[in-house]
A and B are shown apart, each in its own frame.
Chain A
Amino acid sequence: QSVLTQPPSVSAAPGQKVTISCSGSSSDIGNNYVSWYQQLPGTAPKLLIYDNNERPSGIPDRFSGSKSGTSATLAITGLQAGDEADYYCGTCDTSLSAGHWVFGGGTKLTVL
């Protein structure tokens, strides 16, 4: 059972917007930066969003992140078939250590 809670799956049509939630507690999301990872089928995870809402270079602005209290959200606009993947949120649990990472269980995005 994962520390952070994500919906197992979400779906939307091409061109639409989808959001993926990530719920935690005051010791993890509530007290630390959140990052999001995209895992395309058969590949390694890739950093999509860091520090709650920052995009690494090369990540299109269709992807955005936000955080409020003990929850975080990933939004994807203008959905494309190539966005079909598993998405994970992650942060560190400060009640354990500064570097003790915890992840959500992952959300499978289906583009209809």
Chain B
Amino acid sequence: EAQLLESGGGLMQPGGSLRLSCVASGFSFSNFAMNWVRQAPGKGLEWVSVISGSSNTIYYADSVKGRFTISRDNSRNTLYLQMNSLRAEDTALYYCAKGEFVVPAAMGGLDVWGQGTTVTVSS
């Protein structure tokens, strides 16, 4: 069974940095694009970033471009999100989600989600 487990969330001051991790199991990690999706308290889903299976293709939402960096280590089956210059509006539950193909695409949807890790940015 495919599973994703996020970690690394916490309470940070504005301007701080944090690195989230997402460990995958039950599927061939390198064969699939991976996404970060966040959900602010009481709000809807907001896509953050995606990385292809080989790390060749990376995209970011405008709201995090230049501050967040997505990466992956296929040898460790792990996805990362380096978050710098954190703002109050980055406060959210961060999910990693698996795509259906090695490249980013809407086809197939986001078929596996982790349980999320909470990031709170407050002074």
Say which one of A9-17, A73-81, A95-103 lies at the interface with B.
Answer: A95-103
Task: State in angstroms the CA–CA spacing of A32 and B112 once bound together.
Answer: 20
B side interface size, CB within 8 A: 30
Interface string of A39-52 (1 = CB under 8 A from B): 00001111101110
Q: Which of B97, B106, B116 contacts A91 (CB 8 A)?
A: B106
Interface string of B80-123 (1 = CB under 8 A from A): 00000000000000010101100111111111111110000000
B113 in contact with A98 (CB, 8 Å): no
Residues of A close to B45: CB separation below 8 A: 37, 45, 88, 90, 103, 106
Task: State in angstroms the CA–CA spacing of A37 and B44 once bound together.
Answer: 11
B35 an interface residue at 8 Å Cβ cutoff?
yes
Residues of A close to B103: CB separation below 8 A: 98-99
Task: State in angstroms the CA–CA spacing of A101 and B97 once bound together.
Answer: 12
A33 in contact with B113 (CB, 8 Å): no
Task: State in angstroms the CA–CA spacing of A44 and B38 once bound together.
Answer: 11
What band does the interface of chain A fall in when counting residues whose beta carbon is under 8 Å from B? 20 to 34
Closest Cβ of chain B: how far from A56's Cβ, in Å? 6
Residue of A nearest to B6 (CB): A44
A window 49-89: CB within 8 A of B: 49-51, 56, 86, 88
B113 in contact with A90 (CB, 8 Å): no
B46 an interface residue at 8 Å Cβ cutoff?
yes
Q: Which of B57, B59, B107, B113 contacts A46 (CB 8 A)?
A: B113
Residues of A close to B115: CB separation below 8 A: 43-44
Residues of B close to A32: CB separation below 8 A: 106
Task: State in angstroms the CA–CA spacing of A46 and B116 once bound together.
Answer: 13
Residues of B close to A21: CB separation below 8 A: none
Residues of A close to B111: CB separation below 8 A: 47, 50, 56
B106 in contact with A104 (CB, 8 Å): no
Residues of B close to A98: CB separation below 8 A: 103-105
Task: State in angstroms the CA–CA spacing of A19 and B51 once bound together.
Answer: 33
B35 in contact with A101 (CB, 8 Å): yes
A97 in contact with B110 (CB, 8 Å): no
A50 in contact with B109 (CB, 8 Å): yes
